[in-house]
Amino acid sequence: MGESRAVHVTFEGEPPRRVAVRPGTTLLEAAHAAGVPVEATCGGRGRCRSCRVQIRKGPAPPPTLADRLQLGEDEIHERFRLACQAAAWEDLVVAVAPPREERAFQILTETRGTALEAVDPGVRKVLVRGFSGVREETAGARMEELLRQLPQPVGQVGVEAIRSGALLLRSPPEAVTAVLYEDRLLQVEAGDTTGELYGFAVDIGTTTVVGYLLDLREGELRATVAALNPQSSYGGDLMSRISFAQQDPGNVRRLHTRAIQCVNRLLEEACRIAGTSRDRIYKVVVVGNTIMHHLFLGVDPSSVGQAPYLPLVRTAVRVGAQEVGLRLPPHTPVLLLPLVAGFVGADAVGMVLATRIFESPRVRLAVDIGTNAEVVIGSRARIAACSAPAGPALEGAQIRWGMRAAQGAVDRVWIEAAVRYHVIGGGPPTGICGSGLVDAVAGLLEVGLLDPSGRLVVDPPPRVPEAVRRRITVLPDGQPAFVLVPKDESGVGEDIVVTQTDIRQVQLAKGAIRSGITVVERYLGLEDRDLAGVLLAGAFGNYLHLPSAIRIGLIPPLPQERIVYVGNAAGMGAQLVLLSEQEGRRAEELARRIEYVPLAAQPDFQEVFLRSVRFPE
């Protein structure tokens, strides 16, 4: 009888669309029935992310394997699902292609369609058959036939290609596959492997390393893998890594080895997910900040930590996999994107490439918020960039109850008539992460418990709701604080508070980023109102609640629709270069074109910074 019952799926939108379907119907089918356009690039096979939806109301269906592979645990936790995988067994309210993270892929799709005129990874495969027609029965004769069948003359034949040719062509094979990179024959593979042509893009962040396995034929993303950067055990932020590297020449090697081991593990994991092997990866592109870039290569980054903060090399670096220790065929080309300056690294170049701000006639701001925030402002006329030393407060570090955006973290806060909050994972809260902190500070400002100078108002005016004002307390150390989570709701047996010092940390962080934006604007002769848009990149940007970010003055007060999350833009830039040699050349041009604005060298920087530290009225 359950069979005859209908369930209702409502798709959010203007207007919302509601459809009655049989229980078990996939959300993709439901969307089609409702006439809601949901893309399904892979044909509804769970092989891409294009049909991603978020369950707004009702029980989120249990995630499938495809959900886990394509979306990852964070998004699953945030009730994202692939519409082609999720079945409706209860009434649900669903949002199609929600902006968070998805925008990134829209931009990527856009660049693939427009700026990226063609998928042109430099690597290609050619199927060679017809060896039975070769009169002479030796590997050498068949190798000649193979070279003859290639669409263009081979300039160089690689050792691996010669070795494998000698083995595979001993008896006449049905078919072999030639792998070419530029005019070089890289490899000869048994049988028809033209269906397996992969590349790996890696974004090595200070905290997180993310890898993307792409099919180089059509540019499809086949796996996204991530791990914490294991260098963290030698220091959480860049400066502590640099100082560890300085202590002992062996430490550079240790940091290098950690990074490489991590990438090797990600390679392996990505191959497992995509159902392929490391031998089928023919190109690797790496982005990262300058320190991560240098450590990946095994280069002592000490110099980058001292004025004038210059990297050892700025041009794109190309190495063979073997030279850096990647467990791939020795010759596999590994390309590191170029750098602009010590703190405007390959990741910033990747961000510029992915956001296409260099193509637009209108000026846009792109910010990757992290311990060092990269700030880029520009258009096709000019691009300038700086690095703003925000410190780790927005990542939850050096905050009394700060923590990463993980299970138990308060990630959203509303301070209105009452105080409400959202906890990642849904259990009792154990701390507060950056986005929650920004929300809390914005709420305190709005409700009148925080003045623009950043001082908690211990004796608030009567207009502050009673339920909120009574949360102001004074800690044993004498500093005021705001009780975000009272002891009885807390998972740690204590009040979870936001202290005056925490607020100062947030102020310093946002002051650094905001002053970076202002300095670059001034350098280009611009003001906030000249910005046609703001692109927020990086993991933190994705969690941030925009109105709060604007309320505290972290980003310029643009209408919300002109501010977009662009996801991991650095990683997208790496993917673009993976897919297109032309994008690689473009990255080199960009790195030369981007004007670096050293903050400390601006005569009025201190003044700008002090002004930026204040919260907007």
Strand duo 472-474 + 480-485: pairing: antiparallel
- Judged by DSSP in three states, 490 sits in coil
Residue choice 1, 3, 14, 307 for contact with a copy of itself (CB under 8 A) = 307
- Judged by DSSP in three states, 502 sits in helix
- Provide the minimum distance between the beta carbon of 304 and a copy of itself in the complex, in angstroms, as a whole number: 6
Separation of CA 163 from chain center:
39
Nearer to a copy of itself, 1 or 307 (CB): 307
Stretch that binds a copy of itself, among 58-66, 75-83, 140-148, 447-455 (CB under 8 A): 140-148
DSSP 62: P
Collect all residues with Cβ–Cβ distance below 8 Å to 139 and sequence separation of at least 6: 165, 166, 167, 168, 169, 170
Beta strand residue intervals within 486-539, DSSP E:
496-499, 533-537
Nearer to a copy of itself, 13 or 330 (CB): 330
- Provide the minimum distance between the beta carbon of 185 and a copy of itself in the complex, in angstroms, as a whole number: 9
Task: Kindly state whether residue 136 participates in binding a copy of itself, applying the rule CB under 8 A.
Answer: yes
- Judged by DSSP in three states, 205 sits in coil
Whole-angstrom distance, CA of residue 39 vs CA of residue 61: 20
> Cβ(186)–Cβ(177) under 8 Å?
no
Residue choice 320, 428, 448, 557 for contact with a copy of itself (CB under 8 A) = 320
Residue choice 20, 42, 93, 319 for contact with a copy of itself (CB under 8 A) = 319
Task: Kindly state whether residue 133 participates in binding a copy of itself, applying the rule CB under 8 A.
Answer: no
Q: Partners of 19 in the beta sheet?
A: 9
Residue choice 323, 416, 494, 604 for contact with a copy of itself (CB under 8 A) = 323
Nearer to a copy of itself, 342 or 396 (CB): 342
Task: Kindly state whether residue 216 participates in binding a copy of itself, applying the rule CB under 8 A.
Answer: no
Residue choice 194, 243, 257, 303 for contact with a copy of itself (CB under 8 A) = 303
Question: b vs e for 489-500, b when ≥16 Cβ sit within 10 Å of the residue's Cβ?
Answer: ebeeeebbbbbb
Contacting a copy of itself within 221-250 (CB under 8 A): 249
Task: Kindly state whether residue 344 participates in binding a copy of itself, applying the rule CB under 8 A.
Answer: no
Cis peptide upstream of residue 308 (ω within 30 degrees of 0): yes
- Provide the minimum distance between the beta carbon of 160 and a copy of itself in the complex, in angstroms, as a whole number: 9
Please report, for residues 89, 179, 191, 216, 225, the alpha-carbon distance to residue 161 in angstroms, rounded to integers and kept in the order given: 54, 8, 14, 20, 30
Residue choice 322, 473, 479, 501 for contact with a copy of itself (CB under 8 A) = 322
Stretch that binds a copy of itself, among 16-24, 121-129, 291-299, 528-536 (CB under 8 A): 291-299
- Judged by DSSP in three states, 480 sits in strand
Whole-angstrom distance, CA of residue 346 vs CA of residue 576: 13
Stretch that binds a copy of itself, among 10-18, 312-320, 376-384, 388-396 (CB under 8 A): 312-320
Nearer to a copy of itself, 158 or 402 (CB): 158
Nearer to a copy of itself, 74 or 279 (CB): 279
- Judged by DSSP in three states, 26 sits in strand
Whole-angstrom distance, CA of residue 383 vs CA of residue 338: 16
User: Cα 522–527–533 angle (5° rounding)?
Assistant: 115
- Provide the minimum distance between the beta carbon of 263 and a copy of itself in the complex, in angstroms, as a whole number: 15
- What DSSP line would sit under 431-442, residue for residue? EE-HHHHHHHHH
> Cβ(484)–Cβ(343) under 8 Å?
no
Nearer to a copy of itself, 161 or 415 (CB): 161
- Provide the minimum distance between the beta carbon of 200 and a copy of itself in the complex, in angstroms, as a whole number: 19
Whole-angstrom distance, CA of residue 215 vs CA of residue 202: 14
Nearer to a copy of itself, 278 or 294 (CB): 294
- Provide the minimum distance between the beta carbon of 309 and a copy of itself in the complex, in angstroms, as a whole number: 7
> Cβ(473)–Cβ(480) under 8 Å?
yes
Task: Kindly state whether residue 324 participates in binding a copy of itself, applying the rule CB under 8 A.
Answer: yes
Nearer to a copy of itself, 227 or 312 (CB): 312
Stretch that binds a copy of itself, among 122-130, 303-311, 475-483, 579-587 (CB under 8 A): 303-311
Residue ranges binding a copy of itself (CB under 8 A) = 136-141, 143-144, 154-159, 162-163, 165-167, 169-170, 249, 294, 297-304, 306-313, 315, 317-320, 322-324, 330-331, 342
